[in-house]
Structure 1
Amino acid sequence: MRVLIATDAWRPQVNGVVRSLEHLAREAPALDAEIHFLTPDAFRTMPMPTYKEIRLALAMPWHVRRIIDQVKPDFIHIATEGPIGLSARHVCLADKHTFTTSYHTRFPEYIAARAPVPERWSYAAIRRFHNAGAATMVSSPTLESDLAARGFRNLVRWSRGVDAHVFYPRAEKPLNFPGPVFLYVGRVSVEKNIETFLATDLPGSKVIVGDGPARAQLAARYPDAHFLGVKTGEELAAVYASADVFVFPSVTDTFGIVLLEALASGLPIAAFPVMGPVDVVGDSGTGVLDKDLRTAALAALDIPRDLCRAHALTFSWEASARQFLDNIRRVQSPLNAVVTGIAA
């Protein structure tokens, strides 16, 4: 089965969407599938307003249709709601292609954090985008319940995984900072709520790995914190293994692959009791979820690292890819099948 995935999120971006798609493509051949991507690489791009690190593709439906005709996919999946996703959706509806979508990012909350736009307006537009597909893939039970309550239909599960061969407990400790070391990994932007972590009174050291539009401002405001920039692969894995607690201050993430990477590295979680941490940590005992982030971070210091590792091993990218492809096979029909319609 040849699947074409349309995505506005792509390299050199470092985020959960890109990681999920990369691992999916890596696992697919062993599951009798091949993944092709329709990405910003195929178009001219422009920097996204207020977030120049992300470039938006100047995608037009005719160009997207031409690429679809060249790839000749058995199925089309739309991963994002940006210009590429919108053009791919337009072509699928116009040409009667059955397609699925996935909901990765809570854009209504992100937009509301940056501009005076009511969340209900954004959710209405995004609901219409996704309800046109045969199914919308979501990463967790909490997200599924939230979207169902907002009128999203045909929701199916697509969980995430972790590469336990890269992320594992290590003896070497490259972070030479006073302990205990409290670590955050991810995009450095306002919607991630990092300032709450940085403003929390904790002993030892706070380390921030990642980049984004808020980095310079936060680094200037909190000079005692250590901002290391983007780390990937073995370098990132060694940083995880050097820390004592992984602090996840976000209240807007849908899942949080970094949570699994931290756990696989033997790192307990401190977070708010919200979507993402609730689904990954749950009642596993591998983290402390509390409305007081300081309470959670200090209590997490007592969690055994081997317990964290064992819980992370219950997630795999192979299982994630199998779930994605099973979702497609359940709704799959020839590319000329009639689309069921659009819901408001």
Structure 2
Amino acid sequence: MPKLLIVTDAWRPQINGVVRSIENLVRDLEQFDIEIDILSPAEFHTVPLPGYPEIRLALATPGRVARRIEAANPDFIQIATEGPLGLLGRRAALKRNGFTSSYHTRFPEYVSARYPIPESWLYRFMRWFHNAGRGCMVATESLRAELAAKGFTNLHIWSRGVDTELFHPGYPKPLDLPRPVFVHVGRMAVEKNVETFLAMDLPGSKLVVGDGPMLADFKARYPEVTFTGAKSGPELAALYAMGDVFVFPSLTDTFGLVVLEALASGVPVAAYPVTGPKDIIGQSGAGVVDTDLHKAAMACLDLSKDDARARALGFSWAACARQFLDATYESYGVKR
């Protein structure tokens, strides 16, 4: 049975798109008789990321990571993140049979939003990191075109899915809020551009679900907004389902799993025309992408919840796992 080792700096108890993508990939790869091993910060002492204590960085050494990989003896190595473990895993993998990677996060934009470091320097690092591998997996065609224009090579599509049994429109409303309800789910952090949504003049109510370093500040400055903090499972799904419009203000996500979760909940999505939303929504009528986010949000009030749900039904995690496996075999030059 082939063995896949996934090296990731993002893992439980973190709640984000990278972790959820890997969790669903692992679950659905089981049907293909693939043995999965995860190398994560859970195996090491960790320290909090400065300014973002929810994220823990592994205190690993090159020797320890190399020995761990040798002991696992995988046929394939997938490096999911560009953090400490990703860097050490990359180094060890290059001495074996190489690796594939995935471009989950717009690292250059995220860092530049916090520190005065030019994006061009950071993209140079990202090319160095990913181009050394056998293949780099990206979530959408628009991201593949964008990265190819920036000099990234060997790009493969690995899309994302949604659990349409968990996320659906049929939940009882957990909160009594004036309608229409404009909802957002995500991390309360500067790179997510959440404040653009919070500051918008919209009728009805705003409901915001998620945690992060800016949550306390947002609560203090926007007392009229309902903030619930982080939620998961049916509790999260019920909050999605009570929305009339899902507003996605991010300009830096590579996909946006929350967009699919909102659509599965029967909630049309308003977003900017950027990578992720424009690929997911397209011409489906399930949402509106516009450079004027307020205009998009108001236009979504006239859209069909059934059309939103129908669009989400086209995205399955099982199909994503098959796509990932095909890209892995192709990158390694192995016939299935």
TM class, shorter-chain normalised? Answer: over 0.9
Task: Please tell me whether the aligned partners of residues 188 and 211 of structure 2 are also in contact (alpha carbons under 8 angstroms).
Answer: yes
Which residue matches 2:197?
A: 197
TM-score normalised over the length of structure 2: 0.97
Other structure's SS at 1:10 match:
coil
What's the C-alpha RMSD, in Å, of the aligned pairs? Answer: 1.0
> 1:54 aligns to what?
55
Task: Find the counterpart in structure 1 of residue 146 from structure 2.
Answer: 146
CA–CA distance in 2 between the matches of 1:262 and 1:32? 32
What residue identity is the alignment partner of 1:166?
Answer: L
Is residue 30 from structure 1 mapped to residue 31 from structure 2 by the alignment?
Answer: yes
Using the TM superposition, give the Cα deviation of residue 175 of structure 1 relative to its aligned residue in structure 2, in angstroms: 2.1
What is the CA–CA distance in structure 2 between the aligned matches of 1:162 and 1:187, rounded to whole Å? 18
Contact 1:143 1:254 in 2 (8 A): yes
What SS does the aligned partner of 1:114 have?
coil
TM-score, structure 1 normalization? 0.95
Query: What residue in structure 2 maps to residue 338 of structure 1?
Result: none
2: CA distance, partners of 1:239 / 1:69: 45
Q: Which residue of 1 aligns with 2:172?
A: 172
- Is 1:164–1:313's contact at 8 Å kept on the other side of the alignment? yes
CA distance, structure 2, for counterparts of residue 105 and residue 188 of structure 1: 16
What is the identity, as a one-letter code, of the residue corresponding to 1:239?
Answer: L
CA contact under 8 A between 1:25 and 1:34: conserved in structure 2?
no
Name the counterpart of 2:128. 128
Structure 1 unaligned segments of length 5 or more: list them.
Answer: 335-344
* Cα distance between partner residues in 1 of 2:175 and 2:34: 41
* Distance in 2, Cα, partners of 1:183 & 1:59: 40
Once residues 113 and 58 of structure 1 are traced to their aligned partners in structure 2, the CA distance between those partners, rounded to angstroms, is 25
Determine the C-alpha separation between the residues in 1 that align with 2:44 and 2:20. Answer: 21
Q: Structure 2 unaligned runs (5+)? A: none
Distance 1:29 1:241 in 2: 30
Alignment correspondent of 2:83: 82
1:237 aligns with 2:233: no
Q: Which residue of 2 aligns with 1:304?
A: 304
Q: Does 1:106 align with 2:127?
A: no
Q: Displacement, 1:171?
A: 4.6
Task: Tell me, in whole angstroms, the C-alpha distance in 2 between the residues paired with 1:81 and 1:71.
Answer: 21
Structure 2: which amino acid aligns with 1:221? R
Shift in Å, 1:36: 1.2
- Find the aligned partners of 2:35 and 2:238 in 1 and give their Cα distance: 32
Pick which of 74-83 and 169-178 moved more.
169-178
Cα distance in 2, alignment partners of residues 308 and 166 from structure 1: 15
**% identical equivalent positions:** 59
User: Would the aligned equivalents of 1:197 and 1:247 in 2 still touch at CA under 8 Å?
Assistant: yes
**1:250 corresponds to which residue?**
250
Cα distance between partner residues in 2 of 1:120 and 1:81 = 16
CA distance in structure 2 between the aligned counterparts of 1:312 and 1:175, rounded to whole angstroms: 24
Relative contact order (alpha carbons < 8 A, sep ≥ 6): 1 or 2 greater?
A: 1
Equivalent in the alignment of 1:294: 294
Paired with 1:203 and 1:190, the residues of 2 have a C-alpha distance of 25
Aligned residue number for residue 264 of structure 2: 264
Q: Write out aligned runs for 1:203-242 (5 A).
A: 203-242=203-242
